[in-house]
Amino acid sequence: MGRVPCCDKNGLKKGPWTPEEDQKLIDYIQKHGHGTWRTLPKNAGLARCGKSCRLRWANYLRPDIKRGRFSFEEEETIIQLHSVLGNKWSAVAAHLPGRTDNEIKNYWNTHIKKRLLRSGIDPVTHRPRLDLLNLSSLLNTVLFNQPARLDALRLLDIKPQLNTHELLRIAINLMHQKQNLFKHNQVQESQPNYYQTISQQLPSSLLYNPAQFINASPWQYNEVNSFNLSENLMAANSKANNGNMEQPMSSLLYEASNGEFSCEQNLYNNLDTKLSRPVPSMTSNNSSTTINNSKEDEKDSYCSNLFDFHIPDLLDTSQFI
């Protein structure tokens, strides 16, 4: 026995709603309330299924619906909530006044998901996409294809243990080693024997022990450079772990960005002030979860750029090949 349909579909209209139908629905609900959705269409003079009426009202006609683009804060809130709640769109929508579950779901699928994927983040787990990021290839290419090879198998062994922050730290270490070596050797990538020159400068332990590499700090290789982002990241990571909560990379970066650092000048020089944006914090009590965001457009823009363009660059192996 098949399931009984929610209503008799014979003669009922489907597809886009006309302005006349919308008006009938609005008028009826404003006058009588929606009552039982199944009986509403008949009473309101609509040739629609009750379910269709409910959806149209809930997702489009309800007076408290906020329309227009999602703000950066809303987007970050959705990402944070999704990392905790998963595809529970109605639960996510409960934290975003005026936004419907359907709207958030659509926005997730058409915008945020793609942004995360572009940034090398798995939108389901909110962790780096290790499936796409061939760490062995990344490390080898960054370390300039020398005979002293990283032990790829050893690297694969530790791969499952990596979290977002460790991976980010790897990327940052790689980037800064590359920059430091560039600087100290005064060579150009186009120069003959460039790769050989660079690779000779790398500590051999680094080549054979990826785990050590992960834990290494940039200043171990270059004390002159006062780059502290990695240190700040570690502190932020530690703080997040004490709270037993994994922070998304974006919020971790906000926190890490509070420190002083002198690298990436071309990125940071555009900022007049030190970044002081608080991490969007999530606090839980017994029955509800709340998200607190601050609003600082300039910093939003900076963090958005950092997240969208800079980190993917770090993780993009193609630039090294």
Partner DNA sequence: AAAAGCCACAACCGCCTCCAG
Partner DNA sequence: GCTGGAGGCGGTTGTGGCTTT
Interface positions with DNA (CB under 7 A): 3-4, 6, 13-17, 35-38, 48-52, 54-56, 58-60, 87-91, 101-103, 105-107, 109-111, 114
CB of 286 to DNA, least distance (A): 17
CB of 133 to DNA, least distance (A): 22
CB of 95 to DNA, least distance (A): 13
C-alpha 280 chain-centroid distance: 13
Point out which residues pair with 121 in neighbouring strands: 128
Q: Which is nearer to DNA, 47 or 156 (CB)?
A: 47
Assess contact for 214 and 143: CB atoms under 8 A. no
Q: Which is nearer to DNA, 105 or 129 (CB)?
A: 105
Distances (CA, A) of 95 to 81, 111, 176, 268, 294: 9, 19, 39, 33, 16
Phi, psi of 282 (to 5 degrees): -120, 120
CB of 138 to DNA, least distance (A): 27
Q: Which is nearer to DNA, 25 or 168 (CB)?
A: 25
SS3 271: coil
Q: Which is nearer to DNA, 51 or 159 (CB)?
A: 51
Dist CA 122 CA 129 (whole Å):
5
Transcribe 33-81 into DSSP letters. Answer: ----TTTHHHHHT--S-HHHHHHHIIIII-TT---SPPPHHHHHHHHHH
CB of 237 to DNA, least distance (A): 30
CB of 316 to DNA, least distance (A): 19
CB of 151 to DNA, least distance (A): 39
DSSP count for the chain of H helices, then E strands: 18, 2
Q: Which is nearer to DNA, 88 or 183 (CB)?
A: 88
Q: Which is nearer to DNA, 65 or 235 (CB)?
A: 65
Transcribe 78-116 into DSSP letters. Answer: HHHHHHHH-S-HHHHHTTSTT--HHHHHHHIIIIIHHHH
Q: Which is nearer to DNA, 53 or 168 (CB)?
A: 53
Tokens 């109605």 belong to 90
